Structure 1
Amino acid sequence: MNAVVFAYHNVGVRCLKTLLARGVQVQLVVTHPDSPTETLWFDRVADVAAEAGIPVVYVDDAVDAALIDRVAALSPDFLFSFYFRRMLPARLLAAAKTAALNMHGSLLPKYRGRVPVNWAVLHGETETGATLHLMEAKPDAGDIVAQQAVPILPDDTAKEVFDKLTVAAEIALWNVLPQLMRGEVPRRRNDLSVGSYFGGRKPEDGRIDWNQSAQSVYNLIRAVAPPYPGAFFDHLGRRFIVARARIASPSLRARIADKSTVGLHIAEGQLLARTGDGGALHIIELWDADQPGIPLNDLQISELATQQS
């Protein structure tokens, strides 16, 4: 079985390694160059390919005609896309003799589109997973070939869920590869009528509105917690990032029961945030956005809470 692989990020690394472990002959790997503006907290597909002696092509923007011609000349049995950040054109998909397959980070048909893990956490889901599906011109719309679910625990951040999803993708691919290598492509309908689609997220989408419920604010904090850009609020011309938080316990919440204003409060040395539904969050780690990764000390936190009150 021969394959051309378009891949990036940790899912790309683990799925490429899974193909190689199953004995798939990977003829070419296409990946993205590292962006100097992005925090690179993930592994590099190019390193795995280089170690295995596989030719690598870097693509920043759309796939061009020359690359499509190169892939078509290889006449691969399969074309795989593992967290590649560009849609693959129909002419490229047609180069696969058996099937062109994509690994998506949700349990399709739910959370089609961009950054599905972050959206699932933001919406308070208790489960997500990885789906291997046939690629079509429409994103994440092809028949489902394999799926693997993982739980989302109440305090999981998007990074923790993404780590689980990476393993789920590996398991889903590992389990279905024997069939694929026999030329068999199991498939079931991807019913878009019962699914959902979400677009990309911008850093500004991480702005905290303390007037929302405690659970809604907490889900936002978890969904964009570092290494993602982080949930933030502005105060007196400065921006602060809530790096870690928890829903306040009843005993902690009782300490600010007499506070009517939403936002930050200090109670017995703990930084709490009153929310619009009368709930509270326990802010465990707070950063100045100009010094990310460095938690504010007790004096800085006390001054901030005093200024806001």
Structure 2
Amino acid sequence: MNSYEPEPRPRAVVFAYHNVGVRCLKVLLAGGVDVALVVTHEDSATENIWFESVVSLCQTEGIPYITPPDAKSAELLAQVKAADPEFIFSFYYRHMLPASLLEVAPAFNMHGSLLPEFRGRAPVNWAVLHGATETGATLHEMTVKPDAGAIVSQMVVPILPDDTAFEVFGKVTVAAEQALWRVLPSLLDGTAPRINNDLSKGGYFSGRKPEDGRIDWHLPAQQVYNLHRAVAPPYPGAFTDVNGVRYVIERARLGDRHGVLQNGKTDNVAARSLPLGLTVVDNCVFGVCGDGGIITILALTADGVAISAQQLQTRLAA
């Protein structure tokens, strides 16, 4: 009687972090991939950790994981080689993988935009900041040059006019899961398509720092509103400094050039020749912008503490 020998599962080493890392890892497991090793990050004590934990998933699933500080170390290369992977995946891992790692096995990265658009860091935030109306997730071959390899799978999501980057990131996480899920069988059997990633289009973007959230009130209202949307909580937020106090916009809506408020009432705020920046009219907080347009500020903090319209008016009049 012949004993049953199960077919060996394809082995992978996965570099992963954040929500996309968690969801795409789950797709690999559901798709029958043997995840031999996960490489992830230690959470930073200085960062607002609002996202899911890859380490927790590994502990739940019994997957070996490591958190090396450097993706270029000889020790990490040896550990990856020892895992003998047939595939390498990178799902929102924050370090570039060197050529030595990419040579171990075919490597694929999940990027949070529709490549070749918004290559580089913080793609969702940049897409919102630039007023894009759609974005998505792209699985592509990894090369030494970031986000430059052939496209394997893409999934599109809309960016609605009032979506914050946090809301868009939630959509992109689902798009990443779908993009990987639908191509995984053909990727594993070697028949997945390869689509040219035209680097003459789009562009590279750098990482963002909290200071990049500083508001220039000379800009048009739409651009100021886009900045707010791009960095609204849980990101650090768009801010302005007045008399040594840092005011951070927590929630806002865009008004038109005639000051149409979101509750349907019309108040010609722009026609009052108010100075640029924060102002209070009829117990409502506004930001007056360079084109005469306004943003209606629904929640504001002062040095980290919530502040009312009346409190702000008192401070601005002092």
Q: Distance in 1 between matches of 2:181 and 2:260?
A: 47
Q: Is the CA contact (8 Å cut-off) linking 1:265 and 1:306 kept in structure 2?
A: no
Q: Distance in 2 between matches of 1:119 and 1:221?
A: 12
Q: Distance in 1 between matches of 2:121 and 2:281?
A: 40
Match of 1:26 in 2: 35
2:295 alignment partner AA: L
Match of 1:218 in 2: 225
Match of 2:181 in 1: 174
Q: Distance in 1 between matches of 2:73 and 2:174?
A: 32
Q: Is the CA contact (8 Å cut-off) linking 2:131 and 2:226 kept in structure 1?
A: yes
- Structure 1 residue runs without a partner (length 5+): none
Q: Is the CA contact (8 Å cut-off) linking 1:39 and 1:227 kept in structure 2?
A: yes
2:241 alignment partner AA: D
Alignment of 1:114-129 (within 5 A): 114-129=121-136
Q: Distance in 1 between matches of 2:15 and 2:277?
A: 45
**How far 1:70 moved relative to its partner?**
1.6
Match of 1:72 in 2: 81
1:245-267 deviation per Cα after TM superposition (whole angstroms, max 9, x unaligned): 11125434513421242112222
Q: Distance in 2 between matches of 1:256 and 1:110?
A: 36
Over aligned residues, Cα RMSD in angstroms? Answer: 1.3
Match of 2:317 among 302, 306, 309: 306
**How far 1:298 moved relative to its partner?**
3.5
Match of 1:270 in 2: 284
1:204 aligns with 2:207: no
- Structure 2 residue runs without a partner (length 5+): 1-9, 262-266
Match of 1:261 in 2: 275
Q: In the comparison of the two structures, how many residue pairs are matched?
A: 302
Match of 1:280 in 2: 294
1:85 aligns with 2:94: yes
- SS of alignment partner, residue 260 of structure 2: helix
Q: Is the CA contact (8 Å cut-off) linking 2:18 and 2:54 kept in structure 1?
A: yes
**How far 1:75 moved relative to its partner?**
2.0
- SS of alignment partner, residue 254 of structure 1: coil
Q: Distance in 1 between matches of 2:172 and 2:315?
A: 37
1:162 alignment partner AA: F
Where do 4+ consecutive residues of structure 1 move more than 4 Å?
Answer: none
The alignment-based identity, stated in percent, is: 58
Q: Is the CA contact (8 Å cut-off) linking 1:266 and 1:302 kept in structure 2?
A: yes
**Which deviates more, 171-180 or 249-258?**
249-258
- SS of alignment partner, residue 193 of structure 1: coil
Q: Distance in 2 between matches of 1:92 and 1:185?
A: 22
**Which deviates more, 261-270 or 169-178?**
261-270
Q: Is the CA contact (8 Å cut-off) linking 1:256 and 1:267 kept in structure 2?
A: no
| TM-score (normalised: structure 1) | 0.94
**How far 1:301 moved relative to its partner?**
2.1
- SS of alignment partner, residue 48 of structure 2: coil
Q: Is the CA contact (8 Å cut-off) linking 2:284 and 2:309 kept in structure 1?
A: no
Alignment of 1:5-154 (within 5 A): 5-96=14-105, 99-154=106-161
- SS of alignment partner, residue 67 of structure 1: helix
2:317 alignment partner AA: T
Q: Is the CA contact (8 Å cut-off) linking 2:128 and 2:229 kept in structure 1?
A: yes
Q: Distance in 2 between matches of 1:281 and 1:47?
A: 40
Match of 1:238 in 2: 245
Q: Distance in 2 between matches of 1:13 and 1:229?
A: 23
Q: Which has the larger radius of gyration?
A: 2
Q: Distance in 2 between matches of 1:304 and 1:221?
A: 23
Q: Distance in 1 between matches of 2:198 and 2:231?
A: 29
- SS of alignment partner, residue 251 of structure 1: coil
Match of 2:162 among 122, 136, 155: 155
Q: Distance in 2 between matches of 1:237 and 1:183?
A: 60
